[in-house]
Structure 1
Amino acid sequence: MLGGFIGSNNQQGADWGENLLNTVAGNTIRHLFTHSETVDVQVRCQPSSKLLQGSIDSFKMSGRGLVIRKDFRTEEMSFETDAVSLDFSSVLKGKIALKQPTQAIALIKLSEEDINQAFKAQLVRKRLENLSIPTLTALSDGNPVSFSEINLELLPGNQLKLLAQADLHHSIVPISLSCTLVVAKRRRILFEDIRFEADGIAPEWHSLSETLTHTLGEVLNEMVDLDRFNLDGVTMRLNRLETQGKYLLFSGYAQINHFPTNA
């Protein structure tokens, strides 16, 4: 059938191929996410006849309400690749196979609400609960320490305020802190310049709460590493982040070695 398109009407074949690629890519990307509100895929190829040889100028995806691994929702996500070389015969089989790796510019938008919801995910909770922290052994009578009820508020200038509570086995201690979000080594998000906020904390808790504030900061700084969230065949790297109202915006790039097959 493909030979008939090429032999009789090359442009028609290319247009058909472009539509097919859009459909296959859209379906493939949707299956990477537990849930997606919208996913839009656009292929740019001039002249469009190049597509039949597996060569396209760029591939762009934009989506809203994309949920990764059941618990991690992104308000918006988009990426646009460099030139892509793919095996067009794989598209005819409903798949996408790259002939060589490619890179893409990536933009991610997270809402304050979704970030707070992510703190309730099992993958995150297990890194916040039943922790053995040597510096807190005396305070907790040797029992594990857990942090919970985390609520984060995004502020201008990449600042945030965070409320939480610490379970020291014998008491529940309120925590309040402010800090600055920064990108480290293009793959980690760090909570820097952590400051204990005494307002709203009863005076009798100040000393203990301040100690636990910095401990929680250390725990959080070991958590957000993009390598733990990479999709199959895709490596994400960040260039910058920015708070914008109730949203946190990331920009960076993705190295795509092969088209992911699972989330």
Structure 2
Amino acid sequence: MIGGLAGFQNKGSDWGENLLNSVASNTLRHLFTKCDELEVKVRCHPSSKLLQGSIDSFNMNGKGLVIRKAFRTQEMWFETDAVAIDFSSALKGTIALKQPTQAIAQVSLLEEDINTAFKAQLVRKRLENLTAPTLTELSGGEPVSFTEISLTLLPHNQVQLEANADLGKAGIIPVSLICTLGVERRRRILFKDVQFQADNVPSEHRATSEKLTAVLGETLNHMVDLDRFDLDGVKMRVNRLETQDKTLVFTGYAQIDHVPRVG
């Protein structure tokens, strides 16, 4: 090992940076169910700082990353602040941080992937078999489920959402709304200024559908909390979101206490 470290000092940054790039790539790949592309780059100048575990930054760019088998991101990018690591851990195939660090991050979601996520069990269980008094009054006391959800991204951070409300014996009522996406406390995604779209609902169902629309908006507002999606050792926060054609882009940061061991 001593001879290897001496060789590292003579060869410059390539050996150490390549080692860390490889270890970090393998570590991060294991966090995702699927990964189309993943590139990690370590920046360190002068290279001798690597021996003390001092790194200027880690940069990761991934495409087609699937989280927990159901949530696909079109692209995920982050770059850390200066990082202090235990360099000997890299020689063992892992990365151990000596202290927490922060990273700036950007995540892009395609409209089609958002719609697929609405079918995931983690999401469906928050939209099905609801028993709020406002709903059961409409359904004759039966639980209500919102199904067949379809979301369309619109300019200016707006979205259009269509769904069916299954009222059990009372039948199925279509629901249609337009709202504006926002962020609360950097961790909750809000569906603000919900507007009922009466023209998309048959006239005989409009009164009931308008009430259901309000409930669906409230339900969505309590659904997307980033604390529920944190990776092991990583706390994510959103500073800004923006709809760009058929893509929803989040920018923010992550507090990294340790390199995640599980996704």
| TM-score band, normalised by shorter chain | over 0.9
Q: Are residues 1:200 and 2:203 paired? A: no
Quick check: 1:155–1:245 contact (8 Å CA) kept in 2?
A: yes
Quick check: 2:177–2:213 contact (8 Å CA) kept in 1?
A: yes
1:69 counterpart residue number: 68
2:24 counterpart residue number: 25
Quick check: 1:11–1:48 contact (8 Å CA) kept in 2?
A: no
User: In the alignment, residue 158 of structure 1 is paired with which amino acid?
Assistant: N
- CA deviation profile, 1:153-179 (whole Å, cap 9, x unmatched): 000000010000001112100000000
1:253 counterpart residue number: 253
User: In the alignment, residue 213 of structure 1 is paired with which amino acid?
Assistant: T
SS in structure 2 of the partner of residue 232 of structure 1 = coil
- CA deviation profile, 1:208-232 (whole Å, cap 9, x unmatched): 0000001100111110000000000
SS in structure 1 of the partner of residue 216 of structure 2 = helix
Mapped partners of 1:40, 1:198: distance in 2: 47
Mapped partners of 2:78, 2:168: distance in 1: 46
Deviation at 1:246, TM superposition (A): 0.1
Matches within 5 A, 1:1-263: 1=1, 3-8=2-7, 10-12=9-11, 14-170=13-169, 171-263=171-263
Mapped partners of 1:29, 1:8: distance in 2: 28
Quick check: 1:90–1:96 contact (8 Å CA) kept in 2?
A: yes
**TM-score, normalising length: structure 2:** 0.98
Quick check: 1:186–1:238 contact (8 Å CA) kept in 2?
A: yes
Deviation at 1:138, TM superposition (A): 2.0
Quick check: 1:145–1:166 contact (8 Å CA) kept in 2?
A: yes
Identity %: 67
Mapped partners of 1:149, 1:97: distance in 2: 44
Quick check: 1:76–1:110 contact (8 Å CA) kept in 2?
A: yes
User: In the alignment, residue 45 of structure 2 is paired with which amino acid?
Assistant: Q
> How many residue pairs end up in the alignment?
262
Where structure 1 has 5 or more consecutive residues not aligned to the other structure, the ranges are none
Deviation at 1:8, TM superposition (A): 4.9
**RMSD, aligned CA:** 1.0
In terms of mean alpha carbon deviation, does 136-145 or 84-93 score higher?
136-145
SS in structure 2 of the partner of residue 199 of structure 1 = helix
Quick check: 2:238–2:253 contact (8 Å CA) kept in 1?
A: yes
Mapped partners of 1:122, 1:11: distance in 2: 54
Deviation at 1:7, TM superposition (A): 3.2
In the TM superposition, structure 1's runs of 4+ consecutive aligned residues that sit over 3 Å from their partners are: 5-9
SS in structure 1 of the partner of residue 198 of structure 2 = coil
Mapped partners of 2:250, 2:116: distance in 1: 18
User: In the alignment, residue 103 of structure 1 is paired with which amino acid?
Assistant: Q
Deviation at 1:4, TM superposition (A): 1.5
Mapped partners of 2:21, 2:8: distance in 1: 20
SS in structure 1 of the partner of residue 34 of structure 2 = coil
Mapped partners of 1:38, 1:226: distance in 2: 24
Quick check: 2:12–2:47 contact (8 Å CA) kept in 1?
A: no
Mapped partners of 1:23, 1:175: distance in 2: 49
Deviation at 1:14, TM superposition (A): 3.8
User: In the alignment, residue 153 of structure 1 is paired with which amino acid?
Assistant: T
